[in-house]
Chain A
Amino acid sequence: MNSATKTERERARGHHRTGAQILWDSLAREGVEVVFGYPGGAIMPAYDAMLESNIRHVLVRHEQGAAHMADGYARASGKVGVAIATTGPGATNLVTGIATAMLDSSPIVCITGQVPSHLLGTDAFQETDITGVTLPITKHNYLVTDIRELASVIHEAFAVARSGRPGPVLVDITKDVQQASLTEEAIDALAGERKRRRRAARISTPIGEEELAEAAALIEAAERPLVLAGQGIVRAGASHELRALVEKSEIPVAATLLGLGGFPATHPLSLGMMGMHGEAWVNQAIQEADLLVALGMRFDDRVTGKLATYALKAKKIHVEIDPSELNKNVKVDVGLVGDVREVLASLSPRLTTRTRRAWLDRITALKGDSAVRDIQSLPHHGRLFAAHVIHDLWRITEGKALVVTDVGQHQMWEAQYYKHDHPRKLITSGGLGTMGFALPAALGAHLAMPDQEVWVVVGDGGFQMTACELATCAQEGAKVTVAIINNGYLGMVRQWQEFFYDRRYSATPMVSPDFVKLAEAHGLTGLRVTKREEIAGAVAAARSAAGTVVIDFRVEGEDSVYPMVPSGADLGDMIRRPISR
């Protein structure tokens, strides 16, 4: 009663809200609970107003971390992640994270402060044209120089980020806009007259009936069909529909790196990952298939190998939310534009229930040849192999952990040996291949999903790119467990040097700090593992410890990821695993 009266009195006096306050009001309206950021001159009014907001702020140690955390938060939860930074260097430090989110279609909104509008274009202190810089790596961006536009721009930014094919959006707000104010009456009036812009909601083309019929006919006629499941399955929440369709029509499923978990890895129809480090039987099956059903994926060069010899025997159906992806890399016979969940739901009833025994037997035969080469079948002779670390981690966590990987050999081993049965349980930088992604993205994922067990699988190189975020983990009291696959090399580049550059190890041997002591210096737990027998104990200790834990796995230095399709080679032309090591 009392407070209502007070509010009314303030209204009557023409109570004002500043641009900074409007920003936080707008973020709260979008359901934002946490933002990742770093203050600075041009964003200080927003930071001052933040103290009155209920939104949690995570102080990062470098703005790149803020963008990755927002990205990890978005990928784990399906919600929009938010990063905030100041102008100039603060904004440019976001760039790598924004580009990462762009290539993997992750919905994040980045808020940056900008110099006051009367200084725009004068090369003022810390001025950077960040909307110009991020133009090709954002789905859209905005420069706000008028407080009356602020609320509607924030609203639109979220709609753009999450609609259609999601992606990063940047909103650059000049300092004077943050400092200016509007009466509440003016704010209400602006909200009332805000026109629903058609742009955000326009991706709603109906699914083509003719194409659905053609796709169904191709699937019915195929003898050796294969589903290629991409990240679209995860983003659209189409796991259930995918499973229903492939079980009905008995079609085996291969996944892209970002598609892993969209279909249960332990399902009998699951083949595993395709592409450069995909399993031999998967790539061979692609080359032998008479129909590829590509769902929410984009035929990246790491997936296809040499285009001229890619899946020549197969007709292709491509289901994509982004029409510009159709026929971009691979010519397809039927292209279906739309939400992959809706397309699958419409397609399933058109298919008959059937089996494809001969085709599945053929794939099983291909698998048998690979099984004897698999490191899991080989003794370790007291040595520690990364594949064993990942396999044991999968076994001990019962495949239920949310794993965030970095980029390189460990990323591929994780993809091969940690079997993800559920979507949004593997978060990794696939398109851009951003080293340093894992630790900050994992912190973002942890804050989105605090009840989940979050593991970071990272190389010794990538870890050191953003290791400063350990301090953020400590300050936030966050619980993530970091498994450093430490081989003393920039492993993937070393592997290429071994295979393609006569073992000339140029700039790949790496001397690292003592990671156990580094963890301890942050007030965190550090553990070291040098033998396979120690893995279980260390994992158990890490799981029971409070707070973030770092485990330094000292693995074989010159181990390589197999199989491997060399860059630009025919998908069937793989470097296979050696029979013994």
Chain B
Amino acid sequence: MSPMSNTSSTSSTSSTMTLRTFVAYVEDRPGVLNRVMSLLRRRAYNIESVTVGRSHLEGVSRVTLSLEADDDGARRIEANVYKLIDILWVRDITRVASISRDLALVKVRASSETRASVLHLCETFRAHVVDVADGAMVLEISGTADKLDSFLEQLRPLGILETVRTGMVAMTRGADAPDLSLESHEPRGAEDGAPSGEPAAA
């Protein structure tokens, strides 16, 4: 069932605001993201980043949400989000060992004089050049938000023309997976990027 705790012991909670990461599985239907956003707006939370995409299950989207909250606020966000009917599963993974990634495309000025230093930075940050044009290059980088921040910081003196970031996606480490037990949702086909499903029994 829900990973939500039944307890509410106040002694161990912290009232400092920190950046929190939540993972949610939601029904893939119109308006679901709107419901989550409306809830956060109404309770006056300021969203740092939200990403939504297909999950490994048919008809189910996966949301990674990050925002500032204290321990108690985070617990109530989890409880409130879980109350939304279209939300299937939600978990605060802030304190769980996890991997988080952000992806950015950066269009940076690059003349023949500066191209070498751009390429050098790319090498250092393991970014890729995805387009080269007269006077500019488009770079692609993925990693933690911190890594992207410092990459962009290094590029800034060279002249950034445009940046786009996807926002953070996150996943816990290890073998544990959400207990979705959704009879009504089948694994997606392999072409959707899901792990290869069991072949149908003959």
Interface, chain A (partner B; CB < 8 A): 131-132, 135-136, 139-140, 160, 165, 195-199, 202, 204-205, 207-208, 210-211, 318, 322-324, 326-328, 331-337
Contacts and interface: CB of A to CB of B under 8 A. Distances in A.
Interface in B1-31: 1-2, 4, 6-10, 31
A158 to B, nearest CB: 13
5 contacts: A136-B42, A199-B86, A323-B6, A326-B76, A327-B8
B35 A135 contact: yes
B6 A335 contact: yes
A311 to B, nearest CB: 15
Q: Which 10 A-B pairs rank lowest in CB-CB distance, beginning with the nearest? A: A335-B8, A324-B79, A208-B6, A140-B85, A195-B184, A323-B79, A324-B80, A326-B8, A337-B6, A331-B10
Interface in B31-47: 31, 34-35, 38-39, 42
A160 B85 contact: yes
Contacts of B38: 135-136
Contacts of A139: 85
A205 B184 contact: no
B4 A323 contact: yes
Interface of B: 1-2, 4, 6-10, 31, 34-35, 38-39, 42, 72, 75-76, 79-80, 82-86, 88, 181-184
Contact of B6 (A195, A205, A324, A333): A205
B7 A335 contact: yes
A327 B72 CA distance: 7
Contacts of B75: 326-327
> In this complex, which of A132, A139, A165, A199 has the most chain B Cβ atoms within 10 angstroms of its Cβ?
A199
Nearest to A323: B79
B60 to A, nearest CB: 12
A208 B35 contact: no
A132 B35 CA distance: 9
B12 to A, nearest CB: 13
B1 A205 contact: yes
Given A199-B85, A202-B1, A334 B183 contact: no
A131 B2 contact: no
Given A140-B85, A160-B85, A324-B79, A198 B6 contact: no
Nearest to B83: A324
Contact of A205 (B2, B8, B88, B181): B2
Contacts of B83: 165, 322, 324
Contacts of B39: 136
B7 A208 contact: yes
Contact of A336 (B6, B9, B79, B84): B6
A327 B34 contact: no
A187 B42 CA distance: 40
Contact of A211 (B4, B6, B34, B79): B6
B31 A333 contact: no
Given A322-B83, A324-B76, A332 B10 contact: yes
Nearest to A322: B83
A176 to B, nearest CB: 18
Contact of A332 (B1, B8, B76, B184): B8
B28 to A, nearest CB: 14
Contacts of A326: 8, 75-76, 79
A160 B85 CA distance: 8
Contact of A197 (B31, B35, B184): B184
A132 B6 CA distance: 32
A131 B10 contact: no
A322 B75 CA distance: 13
Contacts of A204: 1
Contacts of B2: 202, 205
B31 A131 contact: yes
Contacts of B84: 140
Contacts of B31: 131, 135
A195 B183 CA distance: 8
A207 B1 CA distance: 13
Nearest to A194: B184
Contacts of A327: 8, 10, 72, 75-76
A318 B38 CA distance: 27
A359 B34 CA distance: 51
Contacts of A202: 1-2
Contacts of A207: 6
Contacts of A331: 10
Nearest to B87: A199
Given A198-B183, A333-B10, 7 more contacts: A135-B35, A135-B38, A197-B184, A198-B181, A202-B2, A318-B8, A324-B80
B76 A328 contact: yes
A298 to B, nearest CB: 12
Contacts of A328: 76
> In this complex, which of B6, B39, B181 has the most chain A Cβ atoms within 10 angstroms of its Cβ?
B6
Contacts of B42: 136
Nearest to A334: B8
Given A135-B38, A160-B85, A199-B88, A205 B4 contact: yes
